[in-house]
Amino acid sequence: MPNTIFDNTEYAFAYRSDFELKRAYYIFKLINNNWLVKTGTSLAAKMMDMGLTLPVVIGMRPTIYSVFCGGDELDDAIPIIKNFGKYGVDTVLDYGVEAKETDEDFDKTALEIKNAINFAAKNKHVPIVCSKFTGLLKFAILEKLHAQQTLSPTEEKDYQKALKRIYGLAAHAAEKGVSLFVDAEESWIQQPLDDLTFDLMKQYNTDKPIIYNTVQLYRKDRWTFLQSAHQQAKQAGFIYAVKIVRGAYMEKEAKRAEKMGYENPIQTSKANTDTDYNKALEYAIENLDTLAVCVATHNEESCRLAVEKMEQKKIAKDHPHIHFSQLMGMSDHLSFNLAKMGFKASKYMPYGPVKDVIPYLIRRAQENTSVSGQMGRELQLIHNEIKRRKI
């Protein structure tokens, strides 16, 4: 018998075949080896820099890519989306291509996001599409805007092109009734992204949450930022929509802060991050009339806290302003058990050609090893289900 509401492995992994379950077990076993991940991802990154893409693709496609990604194209993801939907779990689509810097690449990414929005509008199990504005706008321009530096005439021209892409996608999402997540980025480019997202919310979140900002609670200032942004939105008369996450750039942030000689913006301990995350979660649940939240986490305690707070306040499990989300391939015990209980739950599904999604996959593997106990927990749950199935 399950010890907690999230320990029912039979339901958590019902969507996976015996082969898929075993494959996931062996891949997580590999990811659980910190030395192997560090060495492997470093080697893969160097090979990519040298133009040796094919060997990396051949190694990743049947392993990490198959577990964490939906496919090369949207059509590849349809069977997976339908399979999730059978168990009441929705899908958040994310065109997972990163680190592009040309207008041609930006236009291609914008088109892919538009296609994803069109796809979602026709699929009841895909209510949300994710976007990274760094896939639509040059990083260097965001750096200058964040630092309040004047753009050159060429940069200003590029920026206006990027705004046309971004505002066009937001308008399209609103027209189709599909929500659009905006990913958080590094702290030294985040302010212009926050400003852009806030302006988009002001335009499109008057009746329901369409545009969502992402707040990384591993930053010391984000709990205060979240409250302030919500209050400003409330006064302006629109719904503040936010995806709350812990964070994704810890090592990069620490290295840059040390190199540039400023205070590291990241919390001094995981406990502080957890505290701020749970405070943000409770604050959101207290303000669901004017705030919409995606509880994006693999942390059982945070999910349990949200369930308890919603029950205490007698909030409907399918309230349109709150839902839970976990990455595809991770924490099925949360997503599928939450859905079984009647809560709105989704899987965050990256897709795209393997060679273009490799930066995401490398980061995914590195992040997983940095979360204390996460891989061990995943392994134990999968092992329990393999044992239960007697395979």
Residue 283 tokens, joined = 């604050």
Task: For residues 101 and 121, give the distance between their C-alpha atoms in angstroms, rounded to a whole number.
Answer: 29
Give mean pLDDT, residues 110-118: 96
pTM (2 decimals)?
A: 0.91
Segment 282-328, tens digit of pLDDT: 999 999 999 999 999 999 999 999 999 999 999 999 999 999 999 99
Closest C-alpha to 133, from 120, 142, 121, 146: 142
At residue 372, does pLDDT exceed 60? no
DSSP state of 266: B
Domain 9-389 maps to which CATH number in 3.20.20.220, 3.20.20.30, 3.40.50.360, 3.30.530.20?
3.20.20.220
At residue 364, does pLDDT exceed 70? no
Q: Is 165 helix (H, G, I), strand (E, B) or coil?
A: helix
Segment 20-48, tens digit of pLDDT: 999 888 888 877 766 666 777 677 767 77
pLDDT value for 2: 45
8 A C-beta contact, residue 200 and residue 229: no
pLDDT value for 130: 96
Residue 325's DSSP bridge partners are: 296, 346
Segment 203-223, tens digit of pLDDT: 999 999 999 999 999 999 999
Report which of residues 189 and 378 the model is more confident about: 189
pLDDT value for 115: 97
Confidence of residue 50 (pLDDT cuts 50, 70, 90): confident
Give mean pLDDT, residues 192-196: 98
pLDDT value for 373: 55
What contacts 370, CB < 8 A, 6 or more positions away?
250, 251
Confidence of residue 1 (pLDDT cuts 50, 70, 90): very low
At residue 353, does pLDDT exceed 90? no
Q: Which of 49-53, 115-119, 135-139, 173-177 has the lowest mean pLDDT?
A: 49-53
At residue 157, does pLDDT exceed 90? yes
Give mean pLDDT, residues 127-151: 95
Residue ranges covered by each domain of the chain: 9-389
Confidence of residue 101 (pLDDT cuts 50, 70, 90): confident
Strands 179-182 and 211-216: parallel
Confidence of residue 270 (pLDDT cuts 50, 70, 90): very high
Give mean pLDDT, residues 372-378: 67
At residue 361, does pLDDT exceed 80? no
